């Protein structure tokens, strides 16, 4: 019986999580805005009718529940790690209760008043803004049904003016139809925009491979023949028969040039591969492997084709290795994204270094990735994991969104703390392996 209960809860959480992820256009900022709107709205409009219209029915209990739900939503980014898996379920319950359920109950309790018809219509607008059209219709159906059923259970059969109710129903139905069309159109436009951006980025990335391959081939040719030419020039200079001499420093620079060109080409290929990986909407459905965090970090640093001066900026201080189930290729690109961003902002600030370390625990293990470069402005910090949200002309706004998707797929999370001008620290959280199988 207990196992069935656990299975049902897990299935329920998975359902809401998938539904939550479908609404990828919803940012954490919008969710928090909805929460703060409710924190102000529900107490305020409980007090106003006491002074403006004493004939309206009000429920302190129902508004208090809505207030508590919205208050918790306002601080959703500060929830303890243990509770984060319940966020999708909590968000769905909050939206259903605060909009269609609460509005329907109060509309019926106030004898289908015009003021409450206006309120529930405004609620439709909110519902359109924070859901896709399928979720909009699902939430509306559940919320209205529960609101009407709860009213019947508590109050019992109530006489309503059918003519007024019919007119209100017709207006509400028309508003629902318009809202559903708008929600569907909004979702279509958003998807088309994202698809267009992804196609353009992918096309550019693929087109760049051809000239880069030519540059790499030219570098290999230089590497093959240039040493002979340099050696010939050195012998000619020693015998004083050279038509024109090149000083030793320039000869040394020429000798190193092929390696520099090949390194630049490899770095460009890495960026292209990373961009194409970032544009994937889902983590590739492959069999997860047991990975060592130390090995993943070392492999990523090796494969990133770092310049010598960049290597000197990175300090790996992993004293506690741990294992996790994941996808080595996609996780490597998570670290690539963090490396790329950190190196860019270190150079922009002309200071700082990168430090990578771990921390093990009873229930979660953590990988810290910190740079002491430019830092992130406080007003931008809540948006860094939003897709297509870039704060420089050099960014695409997909890298950190990709990191978030991968870490969520692993059953973990990635968060960021930063102080502008001082540091930026990413914390990658992994569930501790309790059994010899993936925790997701």
- CB atoms inside a 10 Å sphere around CB 332: 21
Per DSSP, helices labelled H in 156-247 are 162-238
Give the chain's length. Answer: 440
- CA–CA dist 396, 419 (Å, integer): 23
The per-residue b/e assignment along 231-262, b for 16 or more CB within 10 angstroms, e otherwise, is eebeeebeeeeeeeeeeeeebeebeeebeebb
Q: What six digits make up the tokens of 339?
A: 């490396």
Is residue 59 helix, strand or coil?
Answer: coil
Helical residues (DSSP H) of 326-413, grouped into ranges? 328-349, 399-409
The Cα 27–Cα 294 span in angstroms is: 32
CA distance 341 to 278: 14
Residue for token pair 């607008």 = 125
- What local confidence, expressed as pLDDT, does residue 138 receive? 86
Task: Tell me the β-bridge partners of 400.
Answer: none
Pairing of strands 364-371, 289-292: unpaired
Phi, psi (deg, nearest 5) at residue 323: -110, 155
Q: Which token pair is 347? A: 């150079």
Count CB neighbours of 195 within 10 A: 11
Cβ atoms of 372 and 389 within 8 Å: the answer is no
pTM: 0.50
Q: Which residues contact 196 (CB under 8 A, 6 or more apart)?
A: none
Q: 34 is written with which tokens?
A: 């909805």
d(CA 318, CA 301): 14
Q: Which residues are CB-contacts of 440 (< 8 A; sequence separation ≥ 6)? A: 325, 409, 410, 411
pLDDT tens digits for range 284-297: 556 678 899 999 99
Query: Given this model, what pLDDT does residue 414 score?
Result: 92
Low-confidence ranges of the chain (pLDDT < 50): 1-7, 20-25, 388, 392-396
Separation of alpha carbons 233 and 239, rounded Å: 10
Q: Which residues contact 201 (CB under 8 A, 6 or more apart)?
A: 275, 279, 396, 398
Q: What is d(CA 289, CA 324) in angstroms, rounded to the nearest whole number?
A: 8
Pairing state between β 364-371 and 354-359: antiparallel
Taking the CA of residue 409 as centre, how many other CA atoms within 13 Å lie in the half-sphere pointing to its CB? 20
Cβ neighbors of 172 (< 8 A, separation 6 or more) are 117, 120, 121
Name the residue among 377, 381, 363, 364 with its Cα closest to residue 426: 381
In Å, how far are 20, 228, 249, 259, 331 from 221, measured between CA atoms? Answer: 53, 12, 22, 11, 34
For residues 15 and 199, give the distance between their C-alpha atoms in angstroms, rounded to a whole number. 30
pLDDT at 313: 93
In contact, 292 and 324? CB cutoff 8 Å: no
Label the pairing between strands 354-359 and 314-316: parallel
Contact 16, 89 (CB under 8 A): yes
How far, in Å, are 79, 87, 163, 282, 413 from residue 82 at the CA level?
A: 8, 10, 51, 24, 11
């Amino acid at each position: 019986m207990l196992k069935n209960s656990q299975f049902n809860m897990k299935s329920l959480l998975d359902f809401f999580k998938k539904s939550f992820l479908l609404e990828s256009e919803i940012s954490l900022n919008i969710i928090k805005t909805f929460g703060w709107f409710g924190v102000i709205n529900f107490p305020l409009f409980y007090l106003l009718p006491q002074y403006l219209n004493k004939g309206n029915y009000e429920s302190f209990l129902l508004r208090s529940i809505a207030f508590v739900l919205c208050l918790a939503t306002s601080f959703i980014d500060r929830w303890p790690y243990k509770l984060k898996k319940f966020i999708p379920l909590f968000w769905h319950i909050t939206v259903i209760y605060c909009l269609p359920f609460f509005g329907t109950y109060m509309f019926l309790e106030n004898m289908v008043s015009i003021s409450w018809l206006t309120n529930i219509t405004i609620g439709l607008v909110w519902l359109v803004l924070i859901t896709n059209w399928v979720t909009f219709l699902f939430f509306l159906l559940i919320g209205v049904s529960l609101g009407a059923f709860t009213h019947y259970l508590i109050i019992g059969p109530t006489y309503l003016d059918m003519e007024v109710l019919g007119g209100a129903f017709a207006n509400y139905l028309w508003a629902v139809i318009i809202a559903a069309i708008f929600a569907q159109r909004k979702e279509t436009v958003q998807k088309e925009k994202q698809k267009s951006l992804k196609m353009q980025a992918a096309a550019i990335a693929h087109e760049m491979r051809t000239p880069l391959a030519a540059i790499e081939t030219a570098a290999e040719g230089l590497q093959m023949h240039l040493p002979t030419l340099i050696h010939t020039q050195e012998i000619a200079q020693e015998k004083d028969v050279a038509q024109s001499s090149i000083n030793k420093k320039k000869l040394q620079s020429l000798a190193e040039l092929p390696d520099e060109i090949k390194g630049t080409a490899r770095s460009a290929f890495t960026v292209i591969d990373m961009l194409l990986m970032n544009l994937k909407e889902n983590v590739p459905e492959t069999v997860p492997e047991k990975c060592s965090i130390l090995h993943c970090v070392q492999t990523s640093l090796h494969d990133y084709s770092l310049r010598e001066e960049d290597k000197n900026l990175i300090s790996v201080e992993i004293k506690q290795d741990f294992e996790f189930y994941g996808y080595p290729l996609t996780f490597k690109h998570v670290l690539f994204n963090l490396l790329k961003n950190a190196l860019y902002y270190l150079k922009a600030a002309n200071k700082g270094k990168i430090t990578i370390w771990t921390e093990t625990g009873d229930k979660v293990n953590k990988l810290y990735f910190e740079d002491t470069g430019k830092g992130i402005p406080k007003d931008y910090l809540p948006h860094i994991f939003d897709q297509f949200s870039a704060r420089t002309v050099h960014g695409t706004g997909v890298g950190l969104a990709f990191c978030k998707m991968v870490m969520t797929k692993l059953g973990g999370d990635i968060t960021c703390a930063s102080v502008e001008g001082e540091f930026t620290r990413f914390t990658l959280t992994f569930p501790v392996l309790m059994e010899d199988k993936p925790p997701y």
